[in-house]
């Protein structure tokens, strides 16, 4: 069984870590949240399943670099996109071996490229997942949704260890596949985030209201259409009904609060630069414009700079 280090023990990192540990894999969680880490260390990770069943999974957790008793086979990167580079400082060099594979299942674009600069493109995998989870308290995570996980190599060369990784997901009861068209899937996931996250964060609405409210729907549609145009300029192949797919996701997750909305409501930095901001940056290099995504990006940045009454002000995301 693969030895797994999870960098970023938020809701999703804990979900995957708990499932891998329950399947018999050695798992080490790394996170800077000392209270959360101590809760896991002292009481175990409590996972609330979709059916309401609760289970406690015992696994190691640390909030500073530590030498594991043997190198990791897999480093699963689950931090917010703006923290990717800094988060790898939690991984002790002696816990990494030449065969170690790095897998990013983060939101936004550009995380794989950052990892490639740090550890080499030949062992970096990037992917998307339809699994969902929410951190409800230190050491407590609620599973929020089930779906497939897909990953692939940005370099085009399949790294060693992929078959073992697929076996790990299968043992953990998680549907997963290796995809050679992963860049297309990354852009599809980005379109979903582009159309839903900033709108819900700025307006304080649940996902379903994006599809239900005419002004919100129009704003979503315009942002997604810009993203589709930029994606195709980048060489990605996207379905013609991408806008309808995004609205369907909003309807299917009607009662959900998007991650960006949760960040704004909790006075935390957002991933706006890796989502709507990416569309703007990539548009520029193709001589295109993305005024809707530019505006959404600036509005979210204004929110970040004016959090609370000044006592809870967050650092801007960029």
The string of pLDDT tens digits covering residues 143-180 is 988 889 999 998 888 888 899 999 999 999 999 999 99
Q: What is the pLDDT of residue 158?
A: 86
If you write DSSP's letter for every residue of 229-265 in order, what string do you get? HHHHHTT----TTHHHHHHHHHHHTTTPPPHHHHHHH
For 184, 190, 252, the CA distances from 238, given in Å and listed in that order, are: 7, 11, 20
Nearest to 317 by CA among 81, 11, 33, 8: 81
Do 255 and 142 share a structural domain? no
What pLDDT score was predicted for residue 144?
82
Is the pTM higher than 0.95? no
Please name which of 66, 49, 42, 23 lies closest in space to residue 139, comparing C-alpha atoms: 42
**Are 172 and 108 in the same domain?**
yes
189 classed as catalytic: yes
pLDDT of 309: 55
Q: Are residues 52 and 159 in the same domain?
A: yes
Catalytic residue among 189, 218, 311, 313: 189
CATH number of the structural domain spanning residue 80: 3.40.50.720
| Structural domain includes residue 314 | no
Tokens of 161: 């260890």
Give the pLDDT confidence score for residue 227 in this predicted structure.
98
Burial label, 144 (beta-carbon count in 10 A; 0-12, 13-18, 19+)? middle
CA distances to 174, 248, 293 from 185, rounded to whole Å, are 18, 17, 20
Q: Could you give the number of structural domains in the chain? A: 2
Q: Are residues 28 and 168 in the same domain?
A: yes
pLDDT beneath 50: ranges in the chain: 312-314, 318
Residue 47, strand partner residues? 55, 141
Buried b (16+ CB within 10 A) or exposed e, 162-177: beebeebbebbebebe
- Looking at the fold, whether 151 and 224 belong to one and the same domain comes out as no
Q: What is the CATH number for 278?
A: 1.10.1040.10
Smallest CA-to-CA distance from 27 within 76, 84, 64 is with: 76
Where does a domain end: 161, 180, 199? 180
Q: What is the pLDDT of residue 312?
A: 47
Range of the domain at 231: 183-305
DSSP structure class, residue 65: -
Instruction: Give yes or no: residues 83 and 118 share one domain.
Output: yes
Say yes or no: 14 and 112 in one domain. yes
Q: Tokens for 5? A: 């280090």
Q: Are residues 19 and 135 in the same domain?
A: yes
Residue 287 has which token pair? 């001589």
Claim to verify: residue 272 and residue 301 sit in the same structural domain: yes
DSSP 309: T
pLDDT of residue 311: 52
Give me the half-sphere count of Cα atoms (radius 13 Å) on the Cβ side of residue 298.
Answer: 6
- The verdict on 163 and 207 lying in the same domain is no
Same-domain check for residues 153 and 226? no
pLDDT of residue 73: 96
Domain shared by 14 and 151, yes or no: yes
């Amino acid at each position: 069984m693969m030895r797994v280090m999870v960098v970023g023990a938020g809701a999703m990192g804990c979900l995957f870590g708990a499932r891998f540990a329950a399947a018999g894999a050695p798992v080490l969680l790394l996170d800077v949240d000392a209270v959360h880490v101590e809760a896991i260390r002292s009481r175990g990770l409590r996972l609330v399943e979709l059916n309401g069943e609760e289970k406690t999974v015992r696994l190691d957790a640390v909030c500073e670099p530590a030498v594991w008793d043997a190198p990791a086979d897999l480093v699963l990167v689950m931090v917010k996109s703006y923290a990717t580079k800094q988060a790898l400082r939690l991984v002790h060099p002696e816990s990494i071996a030449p065969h170690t594979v790095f897998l990013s299942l983060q939101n936004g674009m550009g995380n794989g490229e950052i990892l490639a600069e740090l550890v080499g493109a030949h062992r970096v995998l990037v992917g998307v997942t339809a699994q969902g989870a929410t951190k409800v308290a230190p050491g407590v995570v609620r599973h929020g949704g089930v779906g497939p996980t897909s990953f692939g190599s940005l370099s085009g060369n399949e790294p060693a260890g992929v078959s073992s990784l697929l076996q790990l997901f299968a043992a953990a009861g998680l549907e997963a596949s290796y995809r050679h068209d992963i860049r297309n899937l990354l852009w599809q996931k980005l379109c979903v985030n582009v159309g839903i996250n900033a709108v819900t964060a700025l307006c304080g609405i649940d996902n379903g209201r994006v599809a239900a409210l005419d002004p919100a729907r129009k704003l979503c549609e315009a942002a997604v259409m810009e993203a589709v145009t930029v994606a195709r300029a980048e060489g990605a192949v996207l379905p013609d009904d991408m806008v309808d797919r995004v609205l369907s996701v909003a309807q299917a997750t009607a009662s959900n609060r998007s991650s960006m909305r949760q960040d704004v409501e909790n006075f935390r930095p957002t991933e706006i630069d890796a989502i709507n901001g990416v569309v703007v940056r990539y548009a520029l290099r193709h001589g295109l414009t993305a005024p809707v995504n530019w505006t959404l990006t600036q509005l979210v940045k204004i929110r970040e700079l004016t959090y609370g009454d000044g006592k809870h002000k967050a650092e801007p995301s960029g």
